[in-house]
Amino acid sequence: MWKPILWTVVIVLALIGVASGVFRTLAVMGLWDYVQLTRRVAGFIPTRTPEELVRDIQWSEQRWADHPVVVLAHAIPGFVFMFLGPFQFIGKIRSRNIRLHRWSGRIFLAAGAFVGISAIAMPLRFPLIAGRAELAVVVPFAGFLLFALAKAYACIRRREIAAHREWMIRAFAIGLGIAAVRPIDGVLTYFTRLSLHDHFAVALWTCLCGAALTAEIWIRLSSRTVSLHAQS
């Protein structure tokens, strides 16, 4: 019963991650305007005045605009990583077309490496929304993403399939956690009077820690299911 629910959440968050990467790329290229979108929805947010929302978005968007190379190095690999992620765990693709699975896996690993490296570089290049609270969660989780990708690659090179799968789950979970920040941050903006600094910090910590915990639960549950099938 847990699998359909979990897969639904994964697909929804993956789509959010893909959309976020695409729109961030378009925004940096001047083809998408977050400020105009904010002005259109500002009147529907009961906890903020339109002026507050527009001011926050303008400040946030200016950070991206001032460092387009770093942003694009994060956003473009980011939506590739989120797009390919779910396909890495579909058994039918792996069994029917192993070459496609392997090549998409290589691209997934490479995109994830760019995401992790750029995620570490970004806090060092421009102002953070949540300050030290953001730095304290982003850098360790980006480092863990790189570690998980390296472990996944090392395991598959040694033909340790089960361990490879577990590390791929852990790596992709970090991406899903970042994607989850968007809706959670939106909920906090709508229902609370927390500042931009505070609600973004809460969303980051909640989503990334929750994603890491969920990955471990997924690994344990799926491993138990495989074990039970093997015994029957």
Kindly report, residue by residue over 142-168, the tens digit of the pLDDT. Answer: 999 999 999 999 999 999 999 999 999
Cβ atoms of residues 210 and 178 within 8 Å: no
pLDDT value at 113 more than 70: yes
Q: How would residue 225 be classed by pLDDT, with cut points 50, 70 and 90?
A: low
Average pLDDT over residues 92-106: 90
Distance of alpha carbon 123 from alpha carbon 88, whole angstroms: 29
Instruction: Indicate the pTM of the whole model.
Output: 0.91
Backbone angles phi, psi at 46, to 5 degrees: -70, -20
Q: What is the pLDDT at residue 1?
A: 63
Q: What is the pLDDT at residue 43?
A: 86
Mean pLDDT is lowest, of 32-46, 181-195, 200-214, for 32-46
Average pLDDT over residues 190-200: 92
pLDDT tens figures, 44-94: 899 888 899 999 988 888 888 888 988 999 999 999 999 999 999 988 888
CB atoms within 10 A of CB 6: 15
pLDDT value at 34 more than 90: no
- Cα–Cα–Cα angle for 61, 63, 66, nearest 5°? 110
Q: What is the pLDDT at residue 232?
A: 42
pLDDT value at 231 more than 70: no
CB atoms within 10 A of CB 167: 22
- Cα–Cα–Cα angle for 130, 57, 19, nearest 5°? 90
CA dihedral 31, 190, 201, 33 (to 10 degrees): 10
